[in-house]
Chains A and B, each alone.
Chain A
Amino acid sequence: MFDEPYRWVDAINQRRDYIEDQLKRSSPVIAVSVEEGILLVSFYRRTPKLFELYDRMAMGSIGHPADLEAIRMSLINTAHVEGFTRSSKDVSIRRLVMFNLSPKLKTAFEDVMSSPLIFRGVIVEAGVFPKDDQFIEVDFDGQVSPVTMSSVISSSEEVSDRVKKMLPSTIMAVGDALPLIIDSCFAGNFDVTDIGLDSEGKIVDEAMYREQKEKFIKERVLDIQLVDRFRGVMKPLSMP
Chain B
Amino acid sequence: MTTPDRISGSLLDLLKQHHVQLPGSSHMEGTATVSPEIQATTILAFHYKEGVLVAGDRRATAGNRIMANRVEKVLEIDGSSVLAISGSPAQAIEMARILDHSFRYYRRSQLDELSLEGRLRLLAQLLKDNLPMAMNGVGGVVPLFITMDPESGGPHIYFYDILGAHFEGTPFAVGGSGSLEVQGVLRFLDRWGSSDGLSSMGKKEAIVLSLRLLETASYFDSATGGIQERDRIYPVIKLVTREGIETVSEGFIRELMEREVQGV
Contacts and interface: CB of A to CB of B under 8 A. Distances in A.
Given A81-B15, A81-B18, A84-B97, A76 B105 contact: yes
A107 B109 CA distance: 24
Nearest to B3: A70
Contact of A85 (B2, B3, B20, B79): B20
B14 interface: yes
Contacts of B2: 70, 74
B14 A54 contact: no
B30 interface: no
Interface residues of B, number: 21
A84 B101 contact: yes
A71 B108 contact: no
B1 to A, nearest CB: 5
A77 B4 contact: yes
Interface string A150-183: 0000000000000000000000000000000000
Contact of B4 (A73, A80, A233): A73
A80 B101 contact: yes
A95 interface: no
B4 A70 contact: yes
Nearest to B109: A76
Secondary structure type dominating chain A contacts: helix
Contacts of A71: 1
Interface residues of A, number: 24
Given A73-B6, A85-B20, A80 B14 contact: yes
B11 interface: yes
Contacts of B101: 80, 83-84
Interface string A25-65: 00000000000000000000000100111110000000000
A85 B11 CA distance: 12
A53 B104 CA distance: 10
A97 to B, nearest CB: 14
A52 B111 CA distance: 9
A54 B108 contact: yes
A48 B108 CA distance: 13
B15 A84 contact: yes
Contact of A74 (B4, B105, B108): B4
B14 A81 contact: yes
A74 B5 CA distance: 10
Interface string A65-92: 0010111011011001101110000000
Contacts of A222: none
B124 to A, nearest CB: 20
A94 interface: no
B243 to A, nearest CB: 13
A107 to B, nearest CB: 9
A104 interface: yes
A167 to B, nearest CB: 27
Interface in B173-222: none
Given A51-B108, A73-B109, A80-B14, A108 B1 contact: yes
Contacts of B15: 81, 84-85
Which among B6, B108, B111 has the highest number of chain A CB atoms within 10 Å? B108
A83 B108 CA distance: 14
Contacts of A74: 1-2, 4
Which among B1, B20, B79, B101 has the highest number of chain A CB atoms within 10 Å? B1
20 contacts: A51-B111, A52-B108, A54-B104, A69-B4, A69-B6, A70-B2, A71-B1, A73-B109, A74-B1, A74-B2, A74-B4, A76-B105, A77-B4, A81-B18, A81-B20, A83-B101, A84-B15, A84-B20, A85-B15, A104-B1
Interface of A: 48, 51-55, 67, 69-71, 73-74, 76-77, 80-81, 83-85, 104, 108, 117, 231, 233
